[in-house]
């Protein structure tokens, strides 16, 4: 992945990307013909043009490079879930690190996996190099600095394989590598016999650590770009598939297999991710969530069916993987989820809630739960529709009449109340005048000053239940205590039946 993805016509000609550095244009990356002409990253564009007058250049786009690399790394999860992006690329180009422990035999061995990977990337228009070794450091060095013929290094042979490579292959900063070279330590092999203490004194501990990492003497774990899922199944195709029915059939096959595994371990999935590997090396994802642990293929397939409709499969898919990032125990009893719903009705209800939540969004399907607060707008909150009902069994407080509809933001109204502490005589809301015939109140509700927030929230409110001439009932309040100097502000907070 060290060179530029280019069209076939561009690949044969010298081509490079440039970026501004210190007031001049500098080469950032060059393709093979350009490198053959002597052009190297870091060169000034003017020098490069002198070497190769026919050089084509475009401005480098690091964010686009990063996202392209990330997309490639996602595509590489077909080989192993442990894929990390090597963003810094100290002393060499950026790339991806794959931990293929225990995966190679699935592809016919390490050499076959390597050939498959490079071939696949080349078909997608990338000029790529890759290597297999027992340590990440050695693989990194071989992929970037070794000649082409030996790319699979047997465990234990790292020392010999790395000895002839330049010290820059140890993932050292350019400055450190330069100082080592000035001292005549050009090859990694020259470092093997040096005593560590003087080396550390002159160059810091990094050189020794990198050497140990490359030789596999210390562990260097790879942190994968995406969390590795223990619940994962995949299905590969000899020919790319693009028909919706084929993709649905593959999904159903994987879902059924996953559900069987879940059933064996008495578990259910809360979230499922379908990874669709396109033939061009990129990845599309479809994700579904459920309101309770589920392991019924039919239920899950109905949720996936919605997602598969709008999917861009490009030129087709050659691998489909299904994983369950969130898995929870699914015991036999499911009672107490929703008060009043018997066990017989619950699967149907849960299936419905999941379908609604997957299309409209989980926050759009909910239940009202009481909250112990005397501020009307805080006395309820929205809870997931099928969350455990244990906390929700508390009854609503029924001391005072409360409206059926409550405005999230109280609506300011023009009201006329002649006497302080009396209900208004009339008020205007949405260009309609309401003459008040009867009223109850006031009910004084003090702000929850301990909650902090805006001072307006801490103001005392005097609530009145009023009925207009037509019999419509409203919940009005006056904000703040009565003050002769101040014009009282009235709000409509809710509607009664």
Contact in structure between 322 and 273 (CB atoms under 8 Å): yes
Determine if 422 is a binding residue for other proteins (CB under 8 A).
no
**Of these, 24, 285, 374, 397, which contacts other proteins (CB under 8 A)?**
397
Site string (368-387) toward other proteins, x via CB under 8 A:
xxx-----x--xx-x--x--
Among residue numbers 432 through 471, which ones bind other proteins (CB under 8 A)? 432, 434, 437-440, 465, 467, 469-471
Tell me the three-class secondary structure of 74-95, residue by residue.
HHHHHCCCCEEEECCCCCCCCE
8 Å CB contact between 327 and 270: yes
Burial of 452 (0-12, 13-18, 19+ CB in 10 A): exposed
Binding mask 472-491 for other proteins (x = CB under 8 A): xxx-----------------
Verify binding: residue 405, other proteins, rule CB under 8 A.
yes
**Residue 190 in the binding site for other proteins (CB under 8 A):** no
Residue pair 77/283 in contact (Cβ under 8 Å)? The answer is: yes
Give the shortest CB-472-to-other proteins separation in angstroms.
5
**Piece of the chain touching other proteins by CB under 8 A; list 28-36, 217-225, 320-328, 403-411:** 403-411
Q: Can you read off the two tokens belonging to residue 51?
A: 């070497």
What's the CA gap between 133 and 145, in Å, rounded? 14
The three-state secondary structure class of 494 is strand
CB of 37 to other proteins, least distance (A): 59
- Residue whose CB is less far from other proteins, 78 or 434: 434
For other proteins, the closer of residues 344 and 419 by Cβ is 344
C-beta of 203 vs 496, nearer to other proteins: 496
* 427 touches 476 (CB < 8 A): yes
Asked if residue 496 binds other proteins (CB under 8 A), the reply is yes
Please list the alpha-helical segments (H only) found in 224-345.
244-264, 297-309
Question: 73: buried, middle or exposed (CB in 10 Å: 19+, 13-18, 0-12)?
Answer: buried
Residue 444: phi and psi, rounded to 5, are -90, 125
407 is a site residue for other proteins (CB under 8 A): yes
Which of residues 56, 226, 307, 402 is near other proteins by CB under 8 A? 402
Q: Which two tokens stand for residue 473?
A: 């009932």
Nearest Cα neighbor of 378 from 369, 365, 391 is: 369
The total of other beta-carbon atoms located within 10 Å of residue 463's CB is 23
> Which stretch in 139-147, 293-301, 313-321, 394-402 sits in contact with other proteins by CB under 8 A?
394-402
Q: Which is nearer to other proteins, 105 or 438 (CB)?
A: 438
Binding-site size, other proteins (CB under 8 A): 63
Question: C-beta of 364: minimal distance to other proteins in Å?
Answer: 4
* 3-class DSSP state of 329: strand
> 36-44 — which CB contacts under 8 Å span 24+ positions?
39/14
State in angstroms the smallest separation of the CB of 117 from other proteins. Answer: 44
CB-nearer residue toward other proteins: 396 or 449: 396
Binding-site member from 393, 420, 444, 449 for other proteins (CB under 8 A): 393
Toward other proteins, which CB reaches closer, 238 or 372? 372
Q: At what angle do helices 297-309 and 244-264 cross, to 10 degrees?
A: 150
Contact track, other proteins, 329-368, x by CB under 8 A: ---------xxxxx-xx--xx-xxx-xx--xx---xxxxx
Phi/psi at 187 (5° precision): -110, 150
Q: x/- site string to other proteins, residues 226 to 265, per CB under 8 A?
A: ----------------------------------------
In the bound state with other proteins, the residue whose beta carbon lies nearer, of 257 and 413, is 413
Cis (ω within 30 of 0) for the bond into 4? no
Tokens 């990253």, located at residue: 41
Q: Give the interface with other proteins as residue ranges (CB under 8 A).
A: 338-342, 344-345, 348-349, 351-353, 355-356, 359-360, 364-370, 376, 379-380, 382, 385, 389, 392-393, 395-398, 401-408, 429-430, 432, 434, 437-440, 465, 467, 469-474, 494-497
């Amino acid at each position: 992945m060290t060179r530029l993805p280019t069209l076939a016509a561009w690949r044969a000609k010298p081509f490079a990307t440039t970026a501004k550095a210190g007031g001049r244009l500098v080469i950032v990356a060059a393709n093979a013909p350009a490198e053959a002409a002597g052009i190297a990253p870091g060169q000034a564009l003017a020098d490069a043009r002198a070497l190769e007058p026919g050089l084509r250049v475009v401005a480098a786009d690091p964010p686009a490079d990063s996202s392209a690399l990330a997309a490639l790394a996602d595509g590489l999860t077909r080989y192993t879930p442990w894929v990390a992006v090597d963003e810094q690329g100290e002393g060499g180009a950026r790339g991806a690190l794959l931990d293929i422990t225990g995966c190679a035999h699935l592809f016919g061995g390490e050499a076959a996996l390597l050939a498959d990977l490079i071939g696949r990337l080349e078909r997608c228009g990338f000029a790529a190099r890759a290597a297999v070794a027992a340590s990440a450091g050695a693989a990194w060095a071989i992929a970037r600095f070794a000649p082409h013929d030996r790319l699979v290094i047997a465990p234990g042979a790292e020392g010999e394989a790395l000895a002839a490579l330049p010290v820059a292959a140890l993932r050292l900063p350019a400055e450190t590598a330069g100082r080592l070279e000035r001292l005549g330590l050009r090859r990694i092999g020259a470092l093997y016999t040096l005593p560590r203490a003087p080396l550390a004194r002159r160059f810091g501990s990094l050189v020794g650590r990198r050497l140990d990492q490359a030789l596999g003497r210390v562990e260097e774990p790879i942190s994968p770009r995406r969390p590795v899922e223990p619940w994962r199944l995949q299905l590969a195709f000899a020919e790319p598939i693009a028909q919706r029915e084929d993709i649905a059939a593959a999904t159903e096959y994987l879902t059924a297999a996953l559900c069987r595994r879940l059933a064996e371990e008495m578990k259910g999935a809360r979230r499922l991710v379908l990874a669709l590997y396109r033939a061009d090396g990129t990845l599309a994802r479809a994700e579904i969530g459920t309101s309770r642990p589920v392991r019924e293929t039919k239920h899950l397939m109905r949720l996936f069916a919605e997602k598969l409709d709008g999917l861009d499969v490009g030129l087709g898919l050659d691998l489909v993987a299904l994983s369950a990032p969130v898995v929870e125990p699914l015991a036999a009893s499911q009672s107490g989820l929703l008060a009043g719903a018997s066990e017989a009705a619950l699967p149907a209800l849960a299936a419905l809630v999941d379908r609604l939540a997957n299309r409209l969004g989980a926050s759009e399907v909910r239940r009202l739960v009481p909250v112990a607060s005397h501020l009307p707008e805080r006395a309820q909150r929205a809870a997931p529709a099928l969350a455990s009902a244990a906390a929700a069994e508390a009854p609503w407080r029924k001391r005072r009449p409360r409206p059926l509809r409550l405005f999230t933001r109280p609506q300011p109204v023009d009201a006329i109340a002649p006497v302080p502490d009396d209900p208004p005589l009339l008020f205007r809301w949405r260009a309609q005048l309401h003459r008040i015939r009867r009223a109850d109140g006031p009910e004084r509700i003090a702000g929850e000053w301990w909650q902090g927030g805006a001072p307006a929230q801490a103001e005392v409110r005097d609530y009145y239940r009023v009925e207009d001439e037509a019999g419509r009932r409203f919940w009005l309040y006056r904000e703040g205590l009565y003050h002769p100097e101040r014009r009282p502000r009235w709000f409509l907070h809710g509607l009664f039946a």
